[in-house]
Amino acid sequence: MTVELSAAELPTYTRWPVEIARGEGSTVWDTSGKSYLDLYGGHAVAATGHCHPRIVEAIREQAGELLFYSNVVALPVRTRASEAIIAQAPAPLSKVFFVNSGTEANENAMRLARRFTGRSDVLSFHGGFHGRTSDAISAAGLAKYRELGRPNVPGHRLAPFGDLAAAEAAADEKVAAVLLEPIQSMAGVVTAPASYFQGLRRLCDERGAKLIYDEVQTGFGRTGTFFFAGRHGVMPDLVSLAKGIGSGVPMGAVLVSEGIAQTVQPEDYGTTFGGGPLACAAAEATVRVILEEKLIENVRAGSRRLVDGLSALPAVREVRGEGFLLGVVLDRPCKPVRQALLERGFLVGGSDLPDVLRLLPPLVLTQEEIDRFLVAMSKVL
């Protein structure tokens, strides 16, 4: 099956051979009516599943009331969304700045750190990905993206991920921020031990730099806690969010510590669309659905089932990651495996490593759906 690219679209992505028409829960249907179990979630975006009725209702209701007004006025729905998100964030993260995407969240997190410290540089890590606008792409640890962003913003430096001594050597008095994905997704789902995160926190405190967690993928319950921030007793100063926070309505956000927030003046930062009513209605409903439907508990139980089932397959070398952000290391290239899964009605992601499949399913994925996927994986492999 091949799906033609529309002649009117710039060919920015290699398209999967499928044309999706609708979705419900963890299932999507193509234009011919064939169903697919979606373990990719539109790239970790369909957090509450596709078209969750409470999200759809919240968006519909908000669209009928007020489609848009900018940040020059207060909006009840923005107040509710910000309070709902901050209620889940560990102290000292106490304020939220709404933007529109993950890359914009990272741009603003870096700017907040630079302005607060009066320093210029940012330390990020090999394997990391933070978005495609100038500053964020300059922080990419995957060289192919950094190259696409040339000329890069000056003052970016890289260290190997997971190597504390290397970070110590790289973080001098010019470094305003240490920016990392706590679980590097695109790099093939790579993480580090608790001591590494604790060491980075200590290093930032000693050298006067700010610690930024890029939680664009790990945030909002995906890894089995609401945020990665707070895990291992480590509190970052800034957290960038996007992907699933609006369950599909475009939205990004930066969580800001009290100390940094106190130095921000009106007009220092801005965006026209960020914090718009539609996105805020979706984000507020997303938080409530995650909490009230106990989706984090579902992620933990589902993750155990997935990891146990996949680890038992002889062709699987390793399953890494946490919650519903998993990398499945195969003993063979994953491209034909993904194609065979797609033909059987299962969507999974690839990664920067040719032998690592990525699973980023909706947080509502059920045990029955997991078992169906495990049977398909066993047959395909």
Ligand X SMILES: Cc1ncc(COP(=O)(O)O)c(C=O)c1O
| Interface with ligand X (CB under 6 A) | 101-103, 106, 129-131, 181, 185, 214, 216-217, 242
Of 278 and 370, which has the nearer Cβ to ligand X? 278
Instruction: Provide, rounded to whole angstroms, the least separation between the CB of residue 176 and ligand X.
Output: 19
Q: How far is the CB of 258 from ligand X (least distance, A)?
A: 24
**Integer Cα distance of 309 and 332 in angstroms:** 18
Instruction: Work out how close the CB of 131 gets to ligand X at its nearest, in angstroms, rounded to a whole number.
Output: 3
Residue 40: CB atoms within 10 A of its CB come to 24
Give long-range contacts, CB 8 A cutoff, 24+ apart: 377-381: 377/309, 377/310, 377/313, 377/341, 378/313, 379/344, 380/337, 380/340, 380/341, 380/344, 381/313, 381/314, 381/315, 381/316, 381/330, 381/337
Which residue is at the shortest CB distance from ligand X? 102
In angstroms, give the least distance from the CB of 246 to ligand X.
11
Burial of 6 (0-12, 13-18, 19+ CB in 10 A): exposed
Measured in whole angstroms, how far is the alpha carbon of residue 169 from the centre of its chain?
A: 28
CB of 89 to ligand X, least distance (A): 18
Does residue 160 come out as left (phi exceeding 0), alpha (psi in the -120 to 50 range) or beta? beta
Judged by beta carbon, residue 111 or residue 207, the one nearer ligand X is 111
232 and 182 in contact (C-beta within 8 Å)?
no
141 membership: H or E segment, kind and range: none
**How far is Cα 354 from Cα 134, in angstroms, rounded to an integer?**
27
Give me the phi and psi of 278, to 5 degrees please.
-65, -45
The least CB distance from residue 154 to ligand X, in Å, is: 21
Nearer to ligand X, 127 or 345 (CB): 127
Report the residue number, 106 or 257, with the smaller CB distance to ligand X: 106
Name which of 224 and 345 has its Cβ closer to ligand X: 224
The nearer residue to ligand X, 145 or 369, going by C-beta atoms, is 145
DSSP 289-337: HHHHTTHHHHHHHHHHHHHHHHHTSTTEEEEEEETTEEEEEESS-SHHH
We find the least distance from the C-beta atom of residue 243 to ligand X, in angstroms, to be 7
The smaller minimum CB distance to ligand X, of residues 82 and 217, is found at 217
Side-by-side strand order, sheet with 20-24: 20-24, 27-30, 35-38, 346-347
Give the three-class secondary structure for 276: coil
Cα distance between residue 236 and residue 229, in whole Å: 6
Q: Which is nearer to ligand X, 48 or 103 (CB)?
A: 103
Please state, in angstroms and as integers, the Cα–Cα distance from residue 167 to each residue in 42, 137, 146, 228, following that order: 33, 20, 19, 20
Q: Of 103 and 223, which has the nearer Cβ to ligand X?
A: 103
- What's the min distance (Å) between Cβ of 216 and ligand X? 4
Residue 340 Cβ vs ligand X, minimum distance, rounded to whole Å: 25
